[in-house]
Chain A
Amino acid sequence: GAVVSQHPSRVICKSGTSVKIECRSLDFQATTMFWYRQFPKQSLMLMATSNEGSKATYEQGVEKDKFLINHASLTLSTLTVTSAHPEDSSFYICSAQDRGRGQETQYFGPGTRLLVL
């Protein structure tokens, strides 16, 4: 149980275009999902907390107009990188918390590798 999927797994786009990444909890409902960013050989950096039915909460230094987050249902959150630039190239990974399990464990999607040319 506690499976989180992410789509696409890999995307290459031209500078200036927008890219949408989907994060789905497959076998549980997630009122809260999290979006992280990871550069090579580095740790995960939390970008934002996605709450179902309300606005996302962004971490300090993360541009909310650049990284649009929508959490339209209990099983789906999307991250849109708008007007992507080469410096946005990174590994984006989402997670969802299964509070029904009675602990705080977060389950992660397989991640999306974004390359902006």
Chain B
Amino acid sequence: AQKITQTQPGMFVQEKEAVTLDCTYDTSDPSYGLFWYKQPSSGEMIFLIYQGSYDQQNATEGRYSLNFQKARKSANLVISASQLGDSAMYFCAMGGSGNTGKLIFGQGTTLQVKP
């Protein structure tokens, strides 16, 4: 069975500093995708970044980068130069097995950016 684990319920970071949100996963599938979504208090789920299991390089999207360590089964999100607007809930997710399109979500991490 697939599993996603986010062990940090809450994180604080000073504005303009970088922060790493942890995510570990477990799967027996050789091919899978890993995602990070941001959920502000309004509730919408905002797609941030995607990493395929066969991608050779770590994914980057602007201030977001994914530190993918396949052997350790981790896919940590790094946010550089934090902004006040980054305060939100962040979810790590994994594409389900069999290419069904289903997503399995972690428990989430609440990030608060301090001015």
Residues in chain A within 8 A of chain B (CB atoms): 32, 34, 38, 42-44, 46, 49, 91, 93, 95, 97, 103-111, 113
Contact = CB atoms under 8 A, between A and B. Distances in A.
A44 B44 contact: no
A46 B44 contact: no
Contact of B101 (A44, A97, A109, A113): A97
A93 B45 contact: yes
A104 B101 contact: yes
A43 B44 contact: no
Interface of B: 33, 35, 37, 42-47, 50, 52, 91, 95, 99-108
A108 B101 contact: no
Given A105-B47, A105-B50, A43 B107 contact: yes
Given A103-B33, A103-B50, A44 B43 contact: no
Contact of A91 (B43, B100, B102, B104): B43
B103 A106 contact: yes
A111 B44 contact: yes
Contact of B91 (A32, A44, A97): A44
Given A43-B91, A105-B35, A105-B47, A49 B108 contact: no
Contacts of A91: 43
Nearest to B44: A110
A108 B39 CA distance: 11
Contacts of B95: 104
12 contacts: A32-B101, A34-B101, A42-B107, A97-B101, A104-B50, A104-B101, A105-B35, A106-B101, A107-B47, A110-B42, A111-B43, A113-B43
Contacts of A44: 45, 91, 103, 105
A46 B91 CA distance: 14
A34 B45 CA distance: 13
Contacts of B44: 108-111
Given A34-B101, A46-B104, A95-B103, 17 more contacts: A34-B102, A43-B107, A44-B103, A44-B105, A49-B100, A93-B43, A93-B45, A104-B33, A104-B35, A104-B50, A104-B95, A106-B47, A107-B47, A108-B37, A110-B43, A110-B44, A111-B43
